[in-house]
Amino acid sequence: MRASSASIAAIRHPALINWVQLGALVAILLSYIVLLTVKPATARLWALEDGPIEDLGAAFSLIACYLFLFCYFRSTGEAHRFFGRETKRNVWFLALAVLMFVSFGEEISWGQRVFGWSTPAVLDALNAQGETNLHNFWLIQATNPDGTRKSSLQLLLNANRLYSIFWLSYCVVLPVLAMSWERLARLTAFFGVPIPPLAAGGLFLANYAVFLLIIALGRSTRPQ
């Protein structure tokens, strides 16, 4: 998913769009080809905490942050809006850069995995993995502290689900509706929201579809 995030940062910068999206597509395809060809035990080892897959996720979040910052500083020379107010640069790019930096920080537990500090007691009690981050809080996990699975209503407040709702809404639903609904297009223009190219949304959809396929294959080959 993070490789797809990097592709969104090419919004309104045509020189970046083709190269970034091509790079994201190649990264997605290569990662899944490797996962499908290695032994299941090796793939599970790579997917562990602090493993290569998690490291790549953090790296792509940082790359996306840099690209959004690049778009922000290059967005001068034309009128922009942020909630109706004119701005010299597109503030939404800065907001997306901050979001990607938070994603990067969360992946590395804000440096805890690099520097090895102990988790404060108050966070340790609230965090499913005892780490210095927010996305592993019991409040937004799929299970309760006692191991029981949460109800369907409680699962709406889940870190992975919230992330999926965000990219589906912003990268797929918004571009499609903005193309077909003139009132929404005018509203996004008033707020200054940059609309991602549909190709970026396609990358997210392709990535998610292959992800679900790999999970299904893993379950079908698991010993009974």
Q: What would the DSSP string read from start to end of 74-101? A: H--SS-EEETTEEESS-HHHHHHHHHHH
Single-letter amino acid code for the residue at 5:
S
Instruction: Look at residue 190 and tell me if it is in a domain.
Output: yes
Instruction: Look at residue 61 and tell me if it is in a domain.
Output: yes
What pLDDT was estimated at residue 32? 77
**Averaged pLDDT score across all residues of the chain:** 83
- Which DSSP string do the residues of 155-177 spell out, in sequence order? GGS-HHHHHHHHHHIIIIIHHHH
What pLDDT was estimated at residue 33? 80
- Supply the pTM of this predicted model: 0.81
What is the mean pLDDT of the segment spanning 22-26? Answer: 74
Instruction: Look at residue 16 and tell me if it is in a domain.
Output: yes
Separation of alpha carbons 86 and 107, rounded Å: 34
What pLDDT was estimated at residue 212? 78
**Would you place residue 217 in the very low, low, confident or very high pLDDT band (cuts 50, 70, 90)?**
low
Instruction: Look at residue 92 and tell me if it is in a domain.
Output: yes
Single-letter amino acid code for the residue at 106:
E
Among 37-46, 157-166, 209-218, the minimum mean pLDDT is found in: 209-218
CB 89 within 8 A of CB 70: no
pLDDT digits over 173-187, tens only?
A: 999 999 999 999 899
What is the mean pLDDT of the segment spanning 127-142? Answer: 92
- Total domains in the chain come to 1
**Would you place residue 200 in the very low, low, confident or very high pLDDT band (cuts 50, 70, 90)?**
confident
**Would you place residue 151 in the very low, low, confident or very high pLDDT band (cuts 50, 70, 90)?**
confident
Instruction: Look at residue 194 and tell me if it is in a domain.
Output: yes
Instruction: Look at residue 151 and tell me if it is in a domain.
Output: no
Instruction: Look at residue 178 and tell me if it is in a domain.
Output: yes
CB 20 within 8 A of CB 6: yes
Single-letter amino acid code for the residue at 184:
L
Q: Domain limits at 110?
A: 2-115+159-221
What pLDDT was estimated at residue 77? 77
Instruction: Look at residue 121 and tell me if it is in a domain.
Output: no
pLDDT digits over 39-76, tens only?
A: 878 877 887 777 788 888 899 899 989 989 998 998 88
Q: Which residues contact 195 (CB under 8 A, 6 or more apart)?
A: 11, 174, 175, 178, 188
**Would you place residue 190 in the very low, low, confident or very high pLDDT band (cuts 50, 70, 90)?**
very high
* Residue recorded with tokens 């290695």: 38
Q: Flag whether pLDDT at 1 surpasses 70.
A: no
**Would you place residue 87 in the very low, low, confident or very high pLDDT band (cuts 50, 70, 90)?**
very high
Separation of alpha carbons 157 and 136, rounded Å: 12
